[in-house]
């Protein structure tokens, strides 16, 4: 096969390059054959085409003519002088000079006979070509021949068959100008021929095909990698999109839930605020009018038998508390849960004084003071509202494996107790002093709202209380030791500042959940060493250190040994409101 760019042996290139080259060459041959088939159809011939590859075109044509027994051989000659100069002698010239061809050779160019050579031997019969004959045309591939040599070691062929109407004519064509070699014989039965001959390929075209193949392989590898990446990316994108949808739906549900909770909280706060405001207004009116204005008011009295029935005969299983002044029982009166405190007989003062104190306490209404519902003066029994969550002391110790109070709830309790104490100390003409303030006497309702309990209990159990003085003197200590004002221990005199001292200790217990004994000294030392976080109750959650530090500082100043150096509740409550207002 002849090319301008040189040649490359078949065994020097890959099988893929060889296959691609042969496929490209065969496609070109088939296109040329279609043009000749149309020409034959025009003359009403039904040819059979045979494609043959060989390293010597002239010799191959001679062999085909001999095999077919053709008498005449017609071939075309190119008029291009450029190809003639480049390739040298043409195939028609070689055949005309070869006297071994057993047939008459006709050479035509541009439709004119330019040369003819008679057969080496006279054929037995000469056959003429007419328009009614059909022929078998054999196409011999001459593309790529260089000086009549091919470097391939094999020869391949393919056939296109058509039925002959006449088997008498034998014609062989060779067209050089279109790079086509054709031989015809009505007796050609081979549809495919192959010889083990060397084939020589165009070197530049082989290199080009190799480059194209390499690029194609690289592109295929890149496309495969990109496809895998795109597939993984699509899966990840779908997963992330699905996850985002789920998260968005969950966030939407959570926001709706929070909005609903906030609305419910807002409504509850409005109700609570109004209730507190009403109670404070009423308590303020009562406090300003003085105790004497309450002398004619009556409280609800209960018969002792009613209280026995309410507590199942004061059964031990209904006992919920025990103190220095008596026992506390859980009971039910008129379908209402109540707490009934039975004072010890030796601690109850005279009936008149008891009745007077009970009448006053039963009308002392404040949202942060336990409500006294009534009493049984004959047996020294007091009936209070029952609070569901017990005492602050039990909650700080997590009694019964209860959940620890959060630091937000503890901050709110501090403010509520301060409000209740200031309310008691604001009575006119004389302040009302609790005298036994401690976590056990601070009770919590179902919403963990704190209420001061045992208000007036010390007064009920004491016979030497004077209501027209601002300080009281006891011959024996009253209250719990760790919460007792040091000044009271020394002099036996208690004042509203005695409650202030106890409130400071209670604040420190709320912050640390530790024993009250020596607690002010412990917290003060930690505060100075910047180790306050080491003494805070961790079960309350993550305390804001600035809030805890401010509360500790206030509590330490409330616990000073000298009463005059202690902060006044009138100054403390606004500071607490400012500090804790954001926490509810």
118-158 pLDDT tens trace? 876 544 433 333 333 333 333 333 333 333 333 333 333 33
- Domain assignment present for residue 519? The answer is yes
Q: Tokens for 313? A: 């005969």
Helices (H) and strands (E) in the chain, counts: 15, 20
> Helix, strand, or coil here: 287?
helix
Domain stops at, among 356, 386, 416:
386
| Domain membership flag for residue 218 | no
Chain CA centroid to CA 499, Å: 55
* Same domain, residue pair 283 and 201: no
Domain identity same for 119 and 138:
yes
Output 170 or 394, whichever has higher pLDDT.
394
User: What is the rounded CA–CA span in Å between residue 252 and residue 258?
Assistant: 10
Handedness of CA 455, 457, 458, 459 (dihedral sign): positive
CA distances from residue 550 to 247, 405, 471, 532 in whole angstroms, order as listed: 40, 20, 30, 11
Q: Do 374 and 471 lie in a common domain?
A: no
Most confident stretch, 98-112, 191-205, 263-277, 325-339? 325-339
Residue 231 lies in a domain: no
The H or E element containing residue 253 is helix 203-289
The confidence band for 7, taking pLDDT boundaries of 50, 70 and 90, is: low
Q: Is 570 annotated as belonging to a binding site?
A: no
Residues 559, 415 share a domain: yes
**412 shares a domain with 327:** no
Q: How confident is the model at residue 192 (pLDDT cuts 50, 70, 90)?
A: very low
Q: What pLDDT, on a 0 to 100 scale, did the predictor assign at position 122? A: 46
Q: Is residue 162 part of a domain?
A: yes
The residues carrying an active-site annotation are 436
Q: Is 57's pLDDT higher than 70?
A: yes
User: Mean pLDDT for the chain?
Assistant: 76
CA 14 to the chain's CA centroid: 52
Separation CA 365–CA 356 (nearest Å): 16
pLDDT of 303 strictly over 80: yes
pLDDT band at 207 (very low <50, low <70, confident <90, very high): confident
Hey, which of 48-52, 130-134, 299-303, 568-572 has the most confident mean pLDDT?
A: 568-572
Task: Quote the number of domains for the chain.
Answer: 3
Q: Do 55 and 183 sit in the same domain of this protein?
A: yes
Q: What percentage of the chain exceeds 90 in pLDDT?
A: 33
Q: Is 430 exposed, middle or buried (0-12, 13-18, 19+ CB in 10 A)?
A: middle
Q: Which helix (H) or strand (E) holds 332?
A: strand 326-333
Residue 230 in domain: no
The domain that holds 368 is classified in CATH as 3.30.200.20
Structure tokens at 265: 């909280």
Each residue of 33-54: b (16+ CB within 10 Å) or e?
beebbeebeeeebbbbbbbbbb
Helices 203-289 and 15-42, packing angle to 10 deg: 110
> What is the per-residue pLDDT for 451?
96
Is 261 inside any structural domain?
A: no
Lowest mean pLDDT among 36-45, 46-55, 264-273, 435-444: 46-55
Tell whether omega for the bond before 429 is within 30 degrees of 0, i.e. cis: yes
- Tokens standing for residue 375: 């009493």
Same-domain status, 181 and 317: no
CA 218 to centroid of chain Cα atoms? 37
The mean-pLDDT minimum among 264-278, 445-459, 464-478 falls in 464-478
- Residue 465, pLDDT > 70, answer no
CB atoms within 10 A of CB 405: 23
Residue 210, pLDDT > 70, answer: yes
**pLDDT above 60: residue 429:** yes
Q: What is the pLDDT of residue 95?
A: 84
In 3D, which of 301, 310, 325 has the Cα closest to residue 377? Answer: 301
Query: Could you tell me the pLDDT band of residue 553, with boundaries at 50, 70 and 90?
Result: very high
pLDDT at residue 186, rounded to an integer: 35
What pLDDT band is residue 183 in, cutting at 50, 70 and 90? very low
Burial class of residue 423, CB neighbours in 10 A (0-12, 13-18, 19+) = buried
- pLDDT, mean of residues 440-467: 74
What is the H or E stretch that residue 577 is in?
helix 569-580
What is residue 125's three-state secondary structure?
coil
pTM: 0.49
Q: Given a cut of 80, is residue 407 above it in pLDDT?
A: yes
pLDDT, average across residues 541-561: 94
Q: Which pLDDT belongs to residue 32?
A: 81
Query: Do 458 and 371 sit in the same domain of this protein?
Result: no
Please tell me whether residues 401 and 336 are part of one structural domain. no
pLDDT value of residue 501: 96
Find the angle CA(104)-CA(109)-CA(111) to the nearest 5 degrees: 95
Provide mean pLDDT across the span 269-291: 68
Average pLDDT estimate for 429-441? 88
| 22-33 mean pLDDT | 83
Pick the more confident residue, 130 or 366. Answer: 366
Tell me: do 518 and 438 sit in the same domain.
yes
Task: Return the pLDDT at 46.
Answer: 79
Q: Is residue 460 predicted with pLDDT exceeding 80?
A: no
Q: Which one of 386, 407, 428 terminates a domain?
A: 386
Percent of the chain at pLDDT exceeding 70: 73
Residue 569 has pLDDT above 70, yes or no: yes
Per the structure, the complete domain to which residue 297 belongs is given by: 267-386
pLDDT band at 274 (very low <50, low <70, confident <90, very high): confident
Same domain, 397 and 356: no
Q: What is the mean pLDDT of residues 263-283?
A: 77
pLDDT 10s digits, 496-523:
999 999 999 999 999 999 999 999 999 9
Confidence of residue 178 (pLDDT cuts 50, 70, 90): very low
pLDDT at 342 over 60: yes
Q: Which of 370, 386, 402 is the last residue of a domain?
A: 386
pLDDT at site 323: 72
185 Cβ contact partners less than 8 Å away, ≥ 6 residues apart: 64, 67, 68, 69, 70, 135, 136, 138, 170, 172
Both 416 and 380 in a single domain?
Answer: no
Q: Which residue has the higher pLDDT, 99 or 386?
A: 386
Q: Where does residue 340 rank: exposed (0-12), middle (13-18), buried (19+ CB within 10 A)?
A: buried
Sign of CA dihedral 178, 181, 186, 192: negative
Distance CA 347, CA 353 (A): 13
Strand ranges inside 369-510, DSSP E: 372-376, 381-385, 442-444, 450-452, 472-473, 493-494
Peptide bond into 94 cis (omega under 30): no
Q: What is the CATH number of the domain that holds 463?
A: 1.10.510.10
244-258, 284-298, 446-460, 544-558, range with the lowest pLDDT = 284-298
Statement: residue 108 has pLDDT above 60: yes
């Amino acid at each position: 096969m002849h090319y301008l760019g040189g040649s490359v042996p078949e065994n020097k290139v890959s099988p893929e390059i060889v296959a691609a080259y042969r496929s490209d060459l065969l496609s070109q041959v088939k296109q040329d054959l279609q043009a000749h088939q149309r020409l034959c159809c025009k003359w009403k011939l039904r040819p059979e085409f045979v494609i043959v590859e060989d390293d010597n075109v002239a010799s191959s044509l001679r062999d085909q003519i001999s095999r077919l027994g053709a008498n005449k051989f017609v071939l075309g000659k190119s008029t291009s002088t450029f190809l003639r100069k480049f390739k040298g002698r043409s195939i028609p010239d070689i055949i005309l000079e070869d006297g071994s061809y057993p047939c008459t050779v006709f050479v035509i160019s541009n439709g004119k006979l330019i040369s003819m050579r008679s057969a080496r031997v006279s054929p037995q019969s000469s056959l003429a070509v007419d328009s009614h004959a059909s022929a078998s045309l054999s196409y011999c591939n001459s593309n790529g021949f260089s000086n009549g040599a091919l470097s391939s070691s094999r020869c391949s062929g393919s056939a296109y068959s058509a039925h002959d109407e006449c088997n008498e004519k034998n014609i062989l064509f060779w067209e050089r100008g279109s790079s086509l070699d054709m031989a015809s014989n009505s007796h050609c039965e081979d549809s495919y021929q192959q010889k083990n001959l060397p084939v020589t390929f165009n070197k530049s075209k082989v290199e080009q095909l190799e480059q194209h193949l390499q690029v194609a392989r690289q592109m295929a590898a890149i496309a495969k990698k990109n496809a895998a990446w795109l597939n993984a990316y699509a899966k990840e994108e779908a997963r992330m999109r699905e996850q985002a949808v789920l998260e968005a739906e969950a966030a939407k549900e959570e926001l709706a839930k929070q909005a609903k909770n906030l609305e419910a909280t807002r409504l509850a706060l409005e109700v609570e605020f109004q209730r507190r405001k009403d109670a404070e207004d009423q308590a303020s009116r009562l406090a300003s009018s003085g105790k004497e204005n309450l002398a004619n008011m009556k409280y609800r009295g209960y018969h002792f038998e009613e209280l026995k029935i309410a507590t199942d005969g004061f059964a031990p299983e209904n006992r919920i508390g025990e103190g220095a002044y008596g026992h506390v029982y859980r009971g039910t009166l008129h379908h209402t849960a109540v707490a009934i405190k039975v004072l010890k007989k030796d601690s109850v003062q005279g009936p008149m004084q008891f009745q007077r104190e009970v009448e006053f306490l039963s009308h002392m209404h404040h949202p942060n003071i336990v409500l006294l519902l009534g009493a049984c003066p004959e047996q020294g029994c007091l009936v209070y509202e029952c609070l569901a969550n017990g005492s602050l002391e039990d909650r700080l110790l997590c009694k019964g494996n209860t959940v620890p109070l959060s630091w937000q709830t503890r901050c709110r309790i501090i403010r509520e107790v301060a409000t209740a104490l200031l309310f008691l100390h604001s009575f006119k003409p004389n302040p009302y002093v609790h005298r036994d303030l401690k976590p056990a006497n601070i009770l919590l309702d179902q919403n963990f709202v704190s209420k001061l309990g045992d208000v007036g209990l010390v007064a009920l159990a004491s016979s030497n209380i004077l209501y027209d003085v601002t300080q009281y003197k006891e011959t024996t200590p009253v209250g719990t030791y760790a919460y007792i004002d040091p000044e009271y221990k020394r002099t036996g005199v208690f004042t509203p500042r005695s409650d202030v001292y106890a409130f400071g200790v209670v604040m420190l217990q709320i912050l640390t959940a530790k024993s009250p004994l020596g607690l002010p000294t412990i917290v003060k030392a930690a505060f100075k060493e910047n180790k306050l976080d080491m003494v805070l109750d961790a079960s309350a959650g993550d305390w804001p250190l600035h809030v805890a530090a401010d509360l500790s500082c206030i509590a330490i100043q409330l616990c000073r040994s000298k009463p005059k150096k202690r902060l006044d509740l009138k100054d403390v409550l606004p500071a607490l409101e400012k500090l804790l207002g954001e926490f509810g």
